[in-house]
Structure 1
Amino acid sequence: MQPLEHLLSPIINNLNNASNQLEDERILIEKIKRQKMDMIQKKITPFQVDLVRPEIAESWKRSSENGLDPLVYNDPPLMDALSFEQRLKEKDYLIQAAAPYVSKLENMLSHIEAYIFLSDENGLILRVAQALDNNRFRLTPGTIWTEETIGTCAHELCIRLNSPIQLCGPEHFCRIFNNISSSSAPIFDVDGNLEGTLTIASPKFHRHDSYSLGLAVIMAETIQKEFQLSANRELLQSALTATEDAMIMIKAGVVIKANKAACQIFKNLEQDLIGSQIGDVFEDIPLLESVLGTREPHINTHIKIKRSKQKFSGSIQPMKSYDNKNLGCLLTLKPINSTLKVSQSSNGFTSRFTFENMIGTSPQSAKLKNLAKKFARHKSNILIQGESGTGKEVFAQAIHNESRPDGPFIAVNCAAIPKNLIESELFGYEPGAFTGAERIGKPGKIEQACGGTLFLDEIGDMPLELQAVLLRVLEDKMIMRLGGSRYISVNFRLVTATNKNLLELVKRDLFREDLYYRISVFKLNISPLRERGSDIVQLIDHFITAYAEAECIDKPTLSSTAKYILLQYNWPGNVRQLSNAISYAVCMSTDGVIYPEHLPDEILKTSSTPVLERHVSEKDVEDIESSSDSDAFAVNISVKEMEKEAIKRALEKADNHVRDAAKIVGLSKSTLYRKIKQYGLDNNIEE
C-alpha cells in the first residue's frame, strides 16, 4: 500500500494552489482599490490606471466629478409614482417581451444568490427579480441607477458603450459593491437604437465568471428578438388601420388578416374574407403563388377578385421575419380609376415629392420651403432658378402637390427635345399633320396638364419662335394643335425652371423679355448644395438608406473620415452628384462601413484628408456639419500635418506606449514605429 502522505499529496497541492489563487486575487483587489482612490484624489490620471479597463477608469472619474464618494453609499433616487407609471406604459412592449425570459432566468439561478433586473436606456430600473429580503442596495423598480446617482456600474457602462460588459468587485465605484459581480447586455429596437439593458448580478463574487456574462448576452438577444417582433406587429397593425387602401395578409395560401377597407370590399360580395383560401377569393392565383414562392414583389399590377365586376390595381409585397424567414405576403388593393392620381401613375405622370418629405433643414432650405408654400397658394406662374442638380423639379412637384394634388403633373425638359419636335410635344397634333404623325393624332403636354401643373424645365433653352407661341397661350389660356383648325381651352398652373441667367439672355436677345416677366411673377432661387452644409448630412443619410433598401442589404454606416471628405467637397453637380456618389459608395462598401476609399475618384482627388479613419475627429465633422458657410468646405489641411498631429495625440494619451497608441490610431505596431521615426516623435517612446 502507498503511504498516506503520498495519497494526500495531490489534494494538499490543489488546496495550496487554490489558496494562493485566492491570495493573488485578494492582493489584486486591494491594488485596484488603492488605484481608484489615488485617481479620485488626483494623485494619478485615468491614463495611469492600468489595473482596469480604460472605460472603467473614465467612469470612475465622471462619478467622482459628480460629487460621489466611493466610501459612502447614498440610496438611489426614486422616480415619482405618476412619472414611473407613465414610463412603464411607454416601455410596455419591452417589459412584456422580457417577462417570460426573466422568469426563466429566475428558475435557472434559483440555487444561487443573484439579482436580475431590467433597465431602460436611461438607467431607470423597470423590473427586479430575485432581489433578496436583505436588499441593502435599494434595488427596486423605479430607482434611477446612473453614474450621477450611484457611480460606476455595469448597466450604466453598457448603456454608454452599447455593448455587453462585466464588472467585478472594486471595478464598481462605490465600496458597497466590492463583493458584487454584475454582467449587463444591451437590448436594441429594430432601428438599432438602445431600448434597455438586462443585468445579472451576484453578491457571491468568487462564484461569478464569464458564464454570467454569456447568459446575460444570450437572454438579452432573445428578449430583443421578441421585442422587435412585437414592435413590428404593432407597426403593421397601425398601418393596416390607418390606410384607406384595402390591405390583406396572406400566409400559406390563406388570408390571415385584413383591414377594414378590405373587409368592406368582400362584405359587399357577401363573402367572408379571413380564413379563406386564395383560390376562393382571387383569380390571379399563379401571381400570388409566385410572390409567396420567390419572395419577389409585384408592383402596380391588376388583381381580379372572383364574383366582382370592379377592377383593382394592387401591389404584392413579400413579408420576411427578422431571421429572413418567409411570413407570407401583403396585398394592397385600390379600385382602378378611383382617383385621378391612379390614372396619372399608370400613364407615367407622377409627382411623389411634397414639402413634408423634402430632405433638408438648413436655414436656406427652410426659408425656401416656406416661400414656396406661400407661392403655391396662389395661381401665378413660378420661376425656379438654380444650378443643375439642385432639385428644381423636386420643388416643382412639391408646389404641385400643395396647390393641385388631384390634377396631373406634366414635366417637359425643353433642352432634351429636338427643336423640330418641341412644338408638337407641347401643343399636340391632329391626324396627318406631318409625316410620321400618329394616325389618330396626339394631345400635347399643355393639353395633358389641364387641371394640374405644367413644369417646363430648362426654359432658357426654348427656341425663340416657340416662346412667342407660349406667351400667347399664357395670355389666352387656349391652344391649337398642329394641323388643327379649332382652339382648345386649357387650365393649368405653370412652373418653369432654369440653370441660366434669363435676364442675361434677355439682354442678348436670346429670350423674350415679355415672356420672362410673364413666367417670373414668383421666383425661387435654390442655393447650391455647397452652401447648405447641414442639408448634405441629411441627404447622405437619406440616400444611404434608400440605396440599401433598394439593394436589399443592411444599411452601411459612414466613417468619420468619409463623412468629413463629403462635407469638404464642393459638389459642382449638387444633389444629383451626391446621390450618384452615395450610390457608388454603398455598392463599393464592405463590412457594413463606408470608408474614404469607397468614394468616387473625382471626390478623393480633390480631398486633402488622410485616409486613416481616426485622423478625423468627430469634433472636426461636427464643426463642418454645423456650418452653412461655403468657406467651411474650403478647409485644406496637409495630410502629413494631420497624420503627425494624430500620432502625437495618441502617444500622449497612451503615455508614450507604442502598443496602446497603435490601437488608438488603428495602425499596426510596426507601421506606427515607422511613422514615429518619420515624424521625429521617437523621444521617450516605450514598448
Structure 2
Amino acid sequence: MSTAEHVREIETAWRGGTSGRDPYVIQSWRRCLDEYHLDPAVNCEAVILPEGRLKEHRQQSEELINIARSGLERLFGHVSGQNYVLLLTNRQGIAVEYFGDPRHERDLRKAGLYLGADWAEARAGTCAVGACIATGEALTIHQTDHFDMTHTPLSCTAAPIYDTTGALSAVLDISLLSSPREKISQSLARHLVTTTTRRIELANLMAQTSRQWVLRFALSPEFLDVDPEGAIAIDHSGRIVGMTNAAARMLAQAAGLDWRQPEMLLGQKVSQFLNLEVDGLPNLTRGRPTHERVLRARDGRMLFAHAIEPPPRSRARPPSAPLPPALREIGQTPEINQLLEKAARFARTTLPVCIHGETGTGKEVMARALHAASGLKGQFVAMNCAAIPETLAEAELFGHVPGAFTGAAPKGRKGLVEAANGGTLFLDEIGDMPLILQTRLLRVLAEQEVQPLGGNNPLPVQIRVISASHRDLAALVAEGRFREDLYYRLHAATLTLPPLRERADFDWLVERLLARHSPTQRRLTPAAWAALRAHHWPGNLRELDHCLAAASALCEDDEITLSDLPETFSGGDPDSEAAQLRAALAQCQGNVSALARRLGVDRTTVHRRMRRLHLKRHG
C-alpha cells in the first residue's frame, strides 16, 4: 500500500466510510486526527528517551519491573527463535524493560522496539501500546493498522497490566519487525501476552496484600492451583481490598456493574458478589480437594476457589530507624509518625516529592525537613508560584543574561533553578504555575539543564524538586490547566499533611509554637485553652502560629488569657464546638460509629476531635 492510498483510507474512515479494520483501529485513527492533530502523511520516527529520563521512568516502575521480570523471561523463552521482541511500558507508554535479539539491536532501536522508546499514542500515532492504554484492552495493531507509514512493517500485540486497585499501570507488548502473514496469525501472540499479564497481576496482588486473605478462582478445578484466572484480596471484615483485572470483570458481571469503575468494587463485602462470607474462607483452603471448593457468583456462574490464609502477625514489631532530627519536630501522633517514617524514606532518595495539604498545614516546613534529612550539599531554594506575577516568574525561575529584556539587571541574574543546583528546589503552590513555565520546567527536569532568558548556552543542573499544592492537581490536569506529563514527573512520591482540626497532638503543637514566641515560658489560662481547642482553624498551623505570636506580644504577665487572643476568639462561647459535639454524641447514645455516619466522616476523625476537645464517650 502506498502512502497516498493509506492516507485516503484513514480519511475515508474518519468521515464514517466503510472499512475492514477493527473498530479499535478506526477509533485510534480518529483520536490521532481529532485530539492529537497528527498527519498520516508525515512519518513519526521512533523516539528513544535519553538515559537520564529513562532512568527516572525505570526508578518509578522498579517494583513492577522486578515482579514482572520472571514472567517476561518465561514468555521470551517461549518465543525465542521467532524474532519477537518484548517491551514492558509504563502507563505513559515508555518502554522500561526490553527483551530482544542483540544481533538485531540496530534495527530494533531504529524501529522503536527498544528500551526507552516512547509509544504514547499522542506522539507515535496508532500503535499497540498507545491503543491499549486508550482502551484498556488487549489488541493487535498489524502493519497498515498503524497511523503512518513509519511503523507499517511492524506487527504489534499488547495487553494491559492493572494494579490491585483496578488502575492501568503498565502494558506488555510483543512485536515483530516484519510479518508477511495475516493479522489473524497474531492470535497466539495475544494469548501469550494476556496469559503473562494475568500472571504478573496475580504476583503483584500476592506481593501487595500479604496481610489479607487471597481468594483465587478458576472455571475449571484442574487449573485452580496451578494457573488461576483471577484473584481478590479480602480483609478481616470480608471486604475486597485488592483484585486482578480478570477478578474485577468477574465481580462486576456478577453484580451488574462496570468493571471500569473499580471504586464500585473495592471496599464492598465479598458476599455482594459471591455466595461467601468471610467465615467461609477457611473451607476453601488446600485442605479440601479442588473439585469440592465450589462457589457461585451472584449471577449464577459456578467457580472453583482457592483461599490463601495470611501469615500470622508477629507480636513484636521491628523497631523503626530513628527519624532524622529535622523531621522530629513536626508532630507526635501515631498517624504523624507513620507519615514521618514515610518522609524519611523519601528523603534518602532522589525522587521528586509532591506535598498535599490545606493552606497553612506546614508544607514548606515539611519540604525543608526533607531537604535537611537528604544530605544534599546544595541549598534549599523556595519559590511561591502563586505570589510572583506571571511576567516576572520566568526570569525568577530560570534567570537571565545582561540585557535580556527591558528592565533586566545589567549584570544578569541567576535564576532559582541554578541557585538550587546540588540541592532542593521547592515549588510551592505548583498548581498556579502558568502553562508556559510548566513546559520550560519540564524541559529542565528532563534534560537536567537550564537556559537563562536571552542566553544561548544551557547550564547543567542537578536538582531535587519538591512541590506542594492545596489544590487538586489531578483535576487541573483533567481541565487542561496543568500538564499531565509534568504531573506524573512531580508525583513520583506524595505526602499528605492533615489539617490542624484533625490532629490529636494539638496541645503539643500549641506548646511548641508558644515556646518560640514566649521565652519566659508563658502559660495559657483554661479559658484560653478552651477557646483554642474550640476554634476550627481554617488557616491551620500558620493561623495558630500567628495567633500565639500576637497573644504573646499582648500578654503583660506569665499567663495568656482569653482577652490576649484575637477578637474572633473572645466573641461567643469558646466551648461551642465541644458543646455541639457532646450534644450530637448524646443524640447517638454515645455510639461513635453512628455519629461518624451522621457527620459523614470516619470513626478515627470523630475520635481525634473528641481527644482534642477532651470529650469522653458516655452511655
Which TM-score band (shorter chain)? 0.3 to 0.5
Whichever of the two has the greater Rg, that structure is 1
Q: TM-score, normalised by structure 2?
A: 0.41
